[in-house]
Protein backbone atom coordinates (compact mmCIF):
# COMPACT_ATOMS: atom_id res chain seq x y z
CA UNK A 1 0.00 0.00 0.00
CA UNK A 2 2.88 2.31 0.75
CA UNK A 3 4.20 1.53 -2.75
CA UNK A 4 0.90 2.67 -4.27
CA UNK A 5 0.91 5.86 -2.20
CA UNK A 6 4.46 6.82 -3.09
CA UNK A 7 4.77 5.67 -6.72
CA UNK A 8 4.15 8.49 -9.20
CA UNK A 9 2.87 6.12 -11.86
CA UNK A 10 0.03 4.91 -9.60
CA UNK A 11 -2.86 7.26 -10.30
CA UNK A 12 -5.46 5.59 -8.08
CA UNK A 13 -5.82 2.44 -6.02
CA UNK A 14 -8.18 0.76 -3.60
CA UNK A 15 -8.25 -2.33 -1.41
CA UNK A 16 -10.97 -5.00 -1.52
CA UNK A 17 -13.36 -2.69 -3.35
CA UNK A 18 -14.22 -4.98 -6.25
CA UNK A 19 -16.59 -7.89 -5.63
CA UNK A 20 -16.48 -10.60 -8.27
CA UNK A 21 -19.15 -13.31 -8.34
CA UNK A 22 -18.02 -16.92 -8.70
CA UNK A 23 -19.50 -20.37 -8.16
CA UNK A 24 -17.74 -22.28 -5.41
CA UNK A 25 -16.85 -25.90 -6.17
CA UNK A 26 -17.58 -26.72 -2.52
CA UNK A 27 -21.32 -26.01 -2.59
CA UNK A 28 -22.02 -25.09 -6.23
CA UNK A 29 -23.44 -21.74 -5.08
CA UNK A 30 -22.65 -18.14 -5.94
CA UNK A 31 -20.22 -16.30 -3.67
CA UNK A 32 -18.43 -12.96 -3.81
CA UNK A 33 -14.66 -12.70 -4.22
CA UNK A 34 -13.11 -9.51 -2.85
CA UNK A 35 -9.89 -9.02 -4.80
CA UNK A 36 -7.05 -7.57 -2.72
CA UNK A 37 -6.30 -4.50 -4.85
CA UNK A 38 -7.38 -2.42 -7.83
CA UNK A 39 -4.61 -0.20 -9.21
CA UNK A 40 -4.79 2.37 -12.01
CA UNK A 41 -1.34 2.99 -13.50
CA UNK A 42 0.08 5.47 -16.00
CA UNK A 43 2.57 3.52 -18.09
CA UNK A 44 5.80 4.89 -19.62
CA UNK A 45 4.06 5.38 -22.98
CA UNK A 46 1.43 7.53 -21.16
CA UNK A 47 -1.34 4.94 -21.58
CA UNK A 48 -3.51 4.11 -18.58
CA UNK A 49 -3.83 0.51 -17.38
CA UNK A 50 -6.06 -0.99 -14.69
CA UNK A 51 -5.09 -4.04 -12.69
CA UNK A 52 -6.86 -6.26 -10.21
CA UNK A 53 -4.23 -7.80 -7.96
CA UNK A 54 -4.43 -10.77 -5.62
CA UNK A 55 -1.57 -11.48 -3.22
CA UNK A 56 -1.12 -15.03 -1.95
CA UNK A 57 1.68 -17.12 -0.45
CA UNK A 58 3.43 -18.97 -3.28
CA UNK A 59 2.57 -22.37 -1.80
CA UNK A 60 -1.16 -21.56 -2.12
CA UNK A 61 -0.81 -20.89 -5.85
CA UNK A 62 0.38 -24.40 -6.70
CA UNK A 63 -1.68 -27.56 -6.85
CA UNK A 64 -1.25 -29.45 -3.57
CA UNK A 65 0.84 -32.60 -3.65
CA UNK A 66 -0.80 -35.63 -2.06
CA UNK A 67 1.62 -38.17 -0.65
CA UNK A 68 -0.75 -41.12 -0.29
CA UNK A 69 -3.96 -41.10 -2.34
CA UNK A 70 -5.41 -43.90 -0.21
CA UNK A 71 -5.02 -41.93 3.00
CA UNK A 72 -5.46 -38.20 2.51
CA UNK A 73 -4.82 -36.24 5.69
CA UNK A 74 -7.12 -33.49 6.94
CA UNK A 75 -4.42 -30.92 6.19
CA UNK A 76 -4.08 -32.20 2.62
CA UNK A 77 -7.85 -32.13 2.19
CA UNK A 78 -7.99 -28.50 3.36
CA UNK A 79 -5.24 -27.57 0.93
CA UNK A 80 -7.09 -29.24 -1.96
CA UNK A 81 -10.36 -27.48 -1.10
CA UNK A 82 -8.68 -24.09 -0.68
CA UNK A 83 -6.83 -24.47 -3.96
CA UNK A 84 -9.98 -25.49 -5.85
CA UNK A 85 -11.88 -22.45 -4.52
CA UNK A 86 -8.96 -20.14 -5.34
CA UNK A 87 -8.81 -21.44 -8.92
CA UNK A 88 -12.51 -20.59 -9.38
CA UNK A 89 -11.96 -17.11 -7.91
CA UNK A 90 -8.96 -16.41 -10.14
CA UNK A 91 -10.73 -17.58 -13.28
CA UNK A 92 -13.70 -15.34 -12.45
CA UNK A 93 -11.34 -12.40 -11.85
CA UNK A 94 -9.57 -12.98 -15.18
CA UNK A 95 -12.90 -12.99 -17.04
CA UNK A 96 -14.01 -9.88 -15.17
CA UNK A 97 -10.81 -8.11 -16.21
CA UNK A 98 -10.95 -9.32 -19.82
CA UNK A 99 -14.42 -7.78 -20.22
CA UNK A 100 -13.04 -4.42 -19.08
CA UNK A 101 -9.67 -4.47 -20.83
CA UNK A 102 -7.89 -4.79 -17.48
CA UNK A 103 -5.28 -7.29 -16.29
CA UNK A 104 -5.50 -9.70 -13.36
CA UNK A 105 -2.25 -10.28 -11.50
CA UNK A 106 -1.60 -13.01 -8.96
CA UNK A 107 1.44 -11.99 -6.92
CA UNK A 108 3.41 -13.97 -4.34
CA UNK A 109 6.43 -13.31 -2.17
CA UNK A 110 8.52 -14.43 -5.17
CA UNK A 111 7.18 -11.54 -7.25
CA UNK A 112 7.23 -9.02 -4.43
CA UNK A 113 10.50 -9.89 -2.73
CA UNK A 114 12.42 -11.91 -5.34
CA UNK A 115 12.60 -15.03 -3.15
Per-residue pLDDT of the chain in tens (115 residues, 90 and over written 9): 788 888 899 999 999 999 999 999 999 999 999 999 999 999 999 999 999 999 999 888 999 888 777 788 888 889 999 999 999 999 999 999 999 999 999 998 887 877 6
CA dihedral for 69, 75, 78, 79, sign (positive or negative) = negative
Predicted confidence at residue 3, as pLDDT, reads 81
Predicted confidence at residue 115, as pLDDT, reads 60
Predicted confidence at residue 38, as pLDDT, reads 97
Predicted confidence at residue 2, as pLDDT, reads 83
CB 49 within 8 A of CB 11: no
Predicted confidence at residue 70, as pLDDT, reads 78
Amino acid sequence: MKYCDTNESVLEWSSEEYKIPYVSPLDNRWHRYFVDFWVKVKKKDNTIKNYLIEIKPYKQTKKPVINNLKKITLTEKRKILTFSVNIKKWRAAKKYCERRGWDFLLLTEKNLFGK
